[in-house]
Structure 1
Amino acid sequence: MAERVVPEPHRRRRRPTKQGVVLSEQLIVDTTLRLVGSHGAEALTVRRLGAALGADPSAIYRYFHSTDDLLLALADEFVGRAQKGWRPTGDWRADLREIGLRLHAAYQTHPQAAILAAHRTTGREHEMRAVERILGVLRGAGFPDVEAVRIYHAFVDQGLAFAALDAAALALPPAAQAADLEVWQARYGRLDASTHPNIAATAGLLAQDMRRSGYPFALELLLEAAAARLAATDGNAATGGKTGGGTERGR
């Protein structure tokens, strides 16, 4: 798709499509989610979208510069859905836990699209609101700005990584999903304790635990670590000490 998007005031299509609907950015996003969910990444074309909407494919240019621009809109849609109805409680750990679980759940509703979009940075409205809210929770809890940014980075990357991983598993055909889970029982569960003592001792637990996402527990570990760092920061502040700096890591 070429970059020839129509300015915002002139985007609205005045005549209904062949299916009797008036095009909008939201309608295109919703239709794209449905198509990608049914047909995977190959559905992300203006030809397919135009056919599904009953409109000339060129009409998509009125709303999006390119298919990549549309993909960014999908990513921002997930972030927006995750925030819908969220309200801060004043308990920073509870607030971050709720945001993380909401974000993870939002991506799982459309696993095929999540695989394509979870790693993208959109710079759009919903994403900017989420960044502001998460940093607000951290700074409001008393984290110094350097710590707030580092924890924000770890928190978001962890959540999106699990969202993409779990979405990829959900996107597998049911038979493949079942086969992957069966491996823990059929293969690992039968290993001899003489050669694999640790697996043999925990095989039943592994088979049970691997049936659910590891994200909720990983999120708790991150929040506990953040709480420990905050306590250390508070303790150093009370004694006039300084917290360690660590090394910076670029994305």
Structure 2
Amino acid sequence: MSGTQRIPVERKRRRTTRTGSVLSEDLIVSAALELVEAPGGNALTVRRLGAELGCDPSTVYRYFADVDALLLAVADRLIGDSLDGFTADEDWIASLRDFAVRVHRSVLRHPRLAAVRASRVTGGPGECRAVDTGIGILLRGGFAPAESVRLYRTFIDTVLAHAALDAAVRDLSDQQRHQQSRVWHSAQDALPAESYPNLHTVREHLPEMAGSAFPDVLELLLAQFEASRRKSGADTGP
């Protein structure tokens, strides 16, 4: 998957909006994010973006090749923001846990961009910083370079997949979320043992199905990483 397409610097220099503001990539990305998250659904189009910025819509193409490139830039901004204030701990497991929770929380704050963040490679500074940080934690945990890359891919794909799922649930209507949370509560008394023997056995625990699996999956993944490290005889690193 390709990253954001780069526009030559000479096409970007000091273009102003009708309000007198100097147009920039950051300004366009901020406006695009607001339109994506506008009430009523994603309202991002180049025409609306031009109106929001107070400039001719065609000017946006001097900074981004197309709307897809702009969405990748927005996603990259959010990736970078998710790690603001993050500092790796000497405990590599604790560091990975904190990293994962920050990414998951960030995706939930911006559910309409969850699919982009989960499925695309931005190639921007935010993502490069995130990948560098995550692989660095694994290297310091004692994993070899190739294994660190493999485990990081497993780690981040798992985190983003669950974040995208939880974001989709969060983006449901109040009525849909209520209905979903009540399904297994209501099913407890409607599961005859002869038809659903296993569900009948665990019926009192079924309401727990309504919550997010992310915390449990994260702990299982980290435990597997630790088991792999012990099996390989890797030391704990610095």
TM > 0.5: yes
5+ residue gaps, structure 2: none
Q: CA deviation at 1:87?
A: 0.5
Contact 1:17/1:23 (8 A) holds in 2: no
AA aligned opposite 2:76: D
Distance (whole Å) between structure 1 residues aligned to residue 86 and residue 196 of structure 2: 46
Contact 1:33/1:113 (8 A) holds in 2: no
Q: Secondary structure at the match of 1:96?
A: helix
Contact 1:135/1:148 (8 A) holds in 2: yes
1:192 partnered with 2:192: yes
| CA-to-aligned-CA distance 1:96-150 (integer Å, 9 cap, x gap) | 0111110111111111122333211111111111111111111111112232122
Contact 2:191/2:200 (8 A) holds in 1: yes
> Per chain length, whose mean CA-contact separation is higher, i.e. which structure has more relative contact order (CA < 8 Å, sep 6+)?
2
Percentage identity across paired residues of the two chains: 42
5+ residue gaps, structure 1: 238-251
Q: CA deviation at 1:14?
A: 4.2
Q: TM-score, normalised by structure 1?
A: 0.83
Across the two proteins, how many residue pairs are aligned to each other? 231
Q: Secondary structure at the match of 1:40?
A: coil
Which residue in the other structure is 2:230 paired with?
A: 231
Q: CA deviation at 1:37?
A: 1.8
Contact 2:11/2:63 (8 A) holds in 1: no
Q: TM-score, normalised by structure 2?
A: 0.87
AA aligned opposite 1:205: H
Q: Secondary structure at the match of 1:87?
A: coil
Contact 1:75/1:118 (8 A) holds in 2: no
AA aligned opposite 2:137: V
Q: CA deviation at 1:223?
A: 0.5
Distance (whole Å) between structure 2 residues aligned to residue 204 and residue 63 of structure 1: 56
Runs of 4+ in 1 over 6 A off after TM superposition: none
Contact 1:76/1:122 (8 A) holds in 2: yes
| Alignment of structure 1 residues 99-178 onto 2, 5 Å | 99-178=99-178
Which residue in the other structure is 2:41 paired with?
A: 40
AA aligned opposite 1:198: N
